[in-house]
Amino acid sequence: MLVDDSPLSRTLIAGILSAKGHEVSTFQDGQEALAQFANIRPDAVLLDFEMPGLSGLETCIELRKRPDSYNVPIAIVSSHEAEEEISTALTNGADEYILKPIRANELASKISFLMAKRAAPLGAKMAGNVIFSGRYHIIKLLGKGGYSMVYLARDLRTNKEVAIKIMESSSLDDNSTPQFLREAYGLSMLDHPNIVKYMESSHFSDKRFLVTEYIRGESLSAFVKKAPFSELDLIQIADKMCSALSHMSARNVIHRDIKADNILISKEGRVVLIDFGLARGPQQDTLSLGNDFHGTPQYVAPEYIRNEELSVKSDIYSLGITLFYAASGKFPFPSPDASAIIHSHLTVIPPRLEKNVPGISKIFSIMIEKMLVKPQVSRCSLSELREIIDALKSRPAFEQHKFLSGRT
């Protein structure tokens, strides 16, 4: 799409691009281009900086407000070479700034680059100029999962930071789509201070996306790599996670992937459970070892391995492993071999924390043992877990302790 009020410039630029094999739609003003944008669905947009009515910059800004323009590269063509004007264009949605007089080779190479950028994988092109879904200003890539990218963004309606998980178009298969939808559905039913807050889930174009609050902080695993937690801090973590599990259980949600990487501690000391990509109800299918195994071997409950019905006690088991690791810096069944770890979950009694970790009390160690009982029917329930945690919290040392105060 070429937008320029000068017939001579339109003819010149269109001729250069047509000679390189591009199909060019031309418009003489920004209003006309905006009106036809959805019909044409261009692969790139060239805007003349100075036009009557809407200028090229104003047209660029309006385009970036539209959900259907988020991945369409925009170049502004101008005779102004002042740094301030170039910076203004690039910070308001333009991907390229091309100076007049037009040089055919330069124009062709820059357009080719922009077209290649549009065709690049999702993570390579979502950058600071993108307004996703007409609402979210993408700031940076946070990470990549098996089927999606997670970005830090700013919600333009609330001016708050959010995390956006965007499903890759190439990942729209029979396995990843239900997993993505389960995460969105599971989170939409939950509203708890120790569970990451759901904002919205939707799709536009060919991409599904999920928006949650953004937690500034570190995972439990990141903390443990520096040093294991004290018992007093662990009691606080157990207390918050037990509360979160109770909230989930009341709504028939099982997380199925509780682990140190999926529990965050914010800068303010808030303990938050994240990543509900494996969450399901208790009656939904489990995954045996004969299928694609999605759980994390170090944390997985025995019934998950046996392909038995899951319950909140499955999450209690995984939380027990997490607390064991957070207390000792080691897993109860350390092995580089996933099969050996899985076998240990079924047959091996974990070591007692109080005998292996200085500063761990007998009652805390017993709580972990009860959480790691192998038969579900004999494992402690949420109410039993709450009773032990409350007993631990009633001690004067806990009442006087400030969370994370002993860590540097």
Strand bridging mode 74-78 / 45-48: parallel
129 residue type, one letter: N
C-beta separation of 365 from 323 below 8 A = no
Q: Which long-range contacts (CB under 8 A, 24 or more apart) does 14-19 make?
A: 16/102, 16/104, 16/107, 16/108, 17/107, 17/108, 17/111
First-to-final CA distance of the chain: 56
Contacting residues for 320 by C-beta, under 8 A, at least 6 apart:
368, 371, 372
Set 257, 275, 315, 390: catalytic member: 257
**Beta-carbon contacts of residue 21 (< 8 Å; ≥ 6 apart):** none
Q: What are the DSSP E strand ranges found in 104-252?
A: 131-132, 136-144, 148-155, 160-167, 198-204, 207-213, 217-219
d(CA 186, CA 278): 9
According to DSSP, residue 260 is labeled G
Beta bridge partners of 155: 136, 160
Calpha distance 49→56 (Å, rounded): 4
Helical residues (DSSP H) of 206-308, grouped into ranges: 220-226, 231-249, 302-305
Gap between the Cα atoms of 256 and 279, Å rounded: 6
Alpha-carbon distance of 167 to 154, in angstroms, equals 19
Known catalytic residue at 257:
yes
Positions annotated as catalytic residues are 257
